[in-house]
Amino acid sequence: MALLGRRRSSFLKLAALCGVVWFMAVFVLYSDDARRSAGSGPSGSGSGVVSGGGAVEYEPSRRLALEGIRNRFNQFMDNARRDADRPDPEADQQQQQQQEQDIEDVEVKFVDRNQLGDGGGGADLDEPPVAKTHAKQVTPSRPIRLPDDQNGAGIPGVIAPPSEGGPGELGKPVVLPKDLSPEIKKLVDDGWAKNAFNQYVADMISIRRTLPDPRDAWCKEPGRYRDDLPPTSVIICFHNEAWSVLLRTVHSVLDRSPEHLVKEVILVDDFSDMPHTQKQLEEYFLAYPRVKIVRAAKREGLIRARLLGARHATAPVLTYLDSHCECTTGWLEPLLDRIARNSTTVVCPVIDVIDDNTMEYHYRDSGGVNVGGFDWNLQFNWHAVPEREKRKHKSAAEPVWSPTMAGGLFAIDRVFFERLGTYDSGFDIWGGENLELSFKTWMCGGSLEIIPCSHVGHIFRKRSPYKWRTGVNVIKRNSVRLAEVWMDEYAQYYYQRIGNDKGDFGDV
């Protein structure tokens, strides 16, 4: 019985082994037939032969298909590696699409501005990407414009002392009801027509309103900035700027800057003709001896108005601001610190967005800072900070290099500015001066930085409210001068985009 049991066990093992061999043979034959069937050409020949080295060589169509798969796989792996540096690839694609749309929008705005003509202090910057804040909206129960004798300042159209929870405090939005009376609606519409932003809402907000502090903790560490910072002349050019907005700009400088660092605030009036920009403005600032008003004898445009302000400045550092800005706490020291360490450094604050309708102050943290670039139409645009630049810094709040500046808000050492030749004297009105100053800063031994610890808000308007009587395309003319002087062999790429029609660009 034991012998019979052993034979039965051996027989079962043999049967199992035969079954396995049969299964493997069928599998191999089936796989080979399937491969032959899939790879057969019109002649019905097989797709591959075994070479002497044992490798399978496929006919061209099969080989190309495999290479296509391999390439797609490699591309997938490359994308995966790149995506490791991007928190959200979909968001990156959306950002790219938005940048393309922004470029188109900028082109439209430039066309509009050529027809309308922008002026001193009126050349708005291209709006950087905005991260929406989660501030609770403040909707006044009824839109009230305080009478002149009840506005808390004794000055027409001004609400001076900020009140806790008041309209626009802490940068919160002011939203008007939809069912406005005809009288109020007319005031709102008139404000939009004159200023290209909601002047009615701007007038409801205190000219000394509170703002959030958007700085990173790194910026506030003791000893972060030098003690021997140089003083600056803050130059603000304007043309028919709205009353409350202009005053709010100046007060934000005076209220949020150490007194010893602001030697003077120079208001350059580029031939305004609105009543509030004349005697009323002079009387208001009589109480502020550091504020000087310089008036142009004729309409000069932004570039020459800035140079006029520089000629009247007495501080070693020049700081330029637009006339519809609001400076935040600690905005000035980080700018002056970089210049104190290296006088050839040109510095720009982070430009936050003030909504043109609600006056809401939008800001983003240091991780969302953008740097300036340009396209071959010589139009400024914004870009995310490159990874190679990020890797140079331990903190996202540290200054970062920027190829170009937006142009409206920056600080520069006075001597270095003169060494660069200031602005091209052949430039007219505005347009291209930001790229010109950026190019020659880098090409003449300087550097250009965005300072994440410095935040200044700016009202970005969708059109220019100012008019120029000129038939000259000043932006094109200025850009051609820029290309002729600074771009060498790269100028051809810009000329191709204007049909190689340089026009009359003057003497360079």
**How confident is the model at residue 468, as a pLDDT?**
58
The answer for residues whose C-beta is within 8 angstroms of residue 164's C-beta and 6 or more apart is none
In single-letter form, the type of residue at position 81 comes to R
**How confident is the model at residue 329, as a pLDDT?**
98
Q: Give the domains, in start order, of the chain with CATH numbers.
A: 101-129+209-497 (3.90.550.10), 148-204 (no CATH)
**How confident is the model at residue 123, as a pLDDT?**
45
Residue whose tokens read 């006044």: 140
> Rounded to whole angstroms, what are the CA distances from 36 to 3, 33, 170?
50, 5, 74
Nearest CA among 476, 412, 405 for reference residue 125: 405
Please state the three-class secondary structure of 138-197 as a single string. ECCCCCCCCCHHHCCCCCCCCCCCCCCCCCCHHHCCECCCCCCCHHHHHHHHHHHHHHCC
**Which of helix, strand or coil describes residue 25?**
helix
Sign of the Cα torsion 157, 182, 167, 354 reads negative
Q: What is the pLDDT tens value at each position of the chain, 508 positions in all?
A: 444 444 455 555 555 555 555 555 544 444 444 444 444 443 343 433 333 333 333 344 444 444 444 444 344 344 434 443 444 444 444 444 444 444 333 332 322 332 323 344 444 556 666 554 444 444 444 334 443 333 444 455 567 677 788 999 999 999 999 999 999 999 999 999 999 999 999 999 999 999 999 999 999 999 999 999 999 999 999 999 999 999 999 999 999 999 999 999 999 999 999 999 999 999 999 999 999 999 999 999 899 999 999 999 999 999 999 999 999 999 999 999 999 999 999 999 999 999 999 999 999 888 889 999 999 999 999 999 999 999 999 999 999 999 999 999 999 999 999 999 999 877 877 788 999 999 999 999 999 999 999 999 999 988 767 665 565 678 888 999 999 989 999 999 999 998 888 877 766 6
**Which of helix, strand or coil describes residue 216?**
coil
Nearest CA among 205, 456, 164 for reference residue 330: 456
User: What angle (nearest 5°) sits at the alpha carbon of residue 327, between those of residues 324 and 330?
Assistant: 170
Residue whose tokens read 């504020």: 291
The torsion angles phi and psi of 452, rounded to 5 degrees, stand at: -60, -20
**Which of helix, strand or coil describes residue 350?**
strand
**How confident is the model at residue 342, as a pLDDT?**
98
H-helix or E-strand containing 4? helix 2-39
| Residue 430 contacts residue 327 (beta carbons within 8 Å) | no
Nearest CA among 461, 485, 19 for reference residue 241: 461
The torsion angles phi and psi of 402, rounded to 5 degrees, stand at: -135, 130
What CA–CA distance (Å, rounded) separates 159 from 171?
Answer: 15
**How confident is the model at residue 501, as a pLDDT?**
83
**How confident is the model at residue 91, as a pLDDT?**
45
Which string of DSSP letters, residue by residue, matches 377-397?
A: T--EEEEEPPHHHHTT-SSTT
Give 296's DSSP letter.
-
HSE (side-chain half, CA atoms, 13 Å) at 226: 13
Torsion angle of the four alpha carbons 285, 289, 291, 293, in this order, in degrees rounded to the nearest 10: 70
User: What angle (nearest 5°) sits at the alpha carbon of residue 281, between those of residues 277 and 297?
Assistant: 50
The torsion angles phi and psi of 341, rounded to 5 degrees, stand at: -80, -30
**Which of helix, strand or coil describes residue 79?**
helix
Tokens of 134: 């989660």
- Chain CA centroid to CA 198, Å: 22
The torsion angles phi and psi of 136, rounded to 5 degrees, stand at: -70, 130
**Which of helix, strand or coil describes residue 58?**
strand
Residue whose tokens read 């240091």: 366
**How confident is the model at residue 157, as a pLDDT?**
58
Tokens of 432: 């291209």
275 has which bridge partners? none
